[in-house]
Amino acid sequence: MPELAYLNGKIMPIEEAFVPIEDRGYQFGDAVYEYIASHNGKLFFMDDHIARLERSLKELSYPSISMQMIKSGISDLFKASMIKRAGIYIQISRAVAPRNHGFSNQEPVQIIMTAKSLPDTHHHANKGASAITMEDYRWDRCDIKTVQLLPNCLSKQKAVDQGAYDTIFISKENIVREATSSNVFIIKNNKVLTHPLTNKILPGITRKVILEVCMDKKIAFEESFFTLEQLYDADEVFLSGTVTEVLPIITIDSKNIADKKPGQLTQVLFKELRSKAGVK
């Protein structure tokens, strides 16, 4: 199936899509994005992703954009790609304009999207993965999904260089925040804990779905701060995200989490998430 791009309303082969050099997303990181996955030919929780995209745009004082137009563009691109298990990347930059820190919001925004194939299951899903930790040095508005991801990229690479899957950010106050592109959950005594929604973490769509699953299945959960020591001492740890889904973490900073195996409740939550996506 073809991997396609959408550029300001036009669908084309991905290798033919280019944006001008004075795009503010390129020059300033002045752009927001979303990433939507499909399962069995159906986009997963698209309305939630669109709502978060709209919020990001408002937080950065973008001009008004029709979310219905964005949804139609996503649907058209997804349909044209004919990829049943796809990842749809959406990015909106403020404008193409002469380079200036200030902006007028008079020029039209740039809307780009890509549709690419995704693997059916994360390759660490069954065996679990390892992580490292480091002090959180990102900007103070991690709740906005912008393309300003250089700290995340450098921190991800630090994990890869050490043979780990990902890095988990820890605040100066020793609070566990999130990973480079995923929310973090721990389970202790059959209770699920995750960082509350603040400006320090991204309000993950998969995070939201997992908490809904916990509520539906009467699984005890709490949105509360927890420390690095609690992370090490957890019975189970997992990451959540659009591509990550529910990913067990079995070692952190070379320390084993419990018996160094994906936990039972983590596996239950993974299956329930897949069920909500229509995957048996």
Residues 6 or more apart whose Cβ sits within 8 Å of residue 275: none
Closest Cα to residue 97, out of 189, 192, 19, 209?
Answer: 19
Produce one character per residue of 14-49: b if its CB has 16 or more CB atoms within 10 Å, e if not. eeebeeeeebbbbebebbbbbbbbbbeeebbbbebb
Indicate which residue of 145, 188, 271, 280 is catalytic: 145
Q: Do 39 and 60 form a contact (C-beta atoms < 8 A)? A: no
Residue 145 catalytic?
yes
- Rounded to whole angstroms, how far apart are CA atoms 54 and 48? 10
In this structure, the chain runs to a length of: 280
- Rounded to whole angstroms, how far apart are CA atoms 118 and 124? 14
Q: Do 60 and 124 form a contact (C-beta atoms < 8 A)? A: no
Catalytic residue list: 145
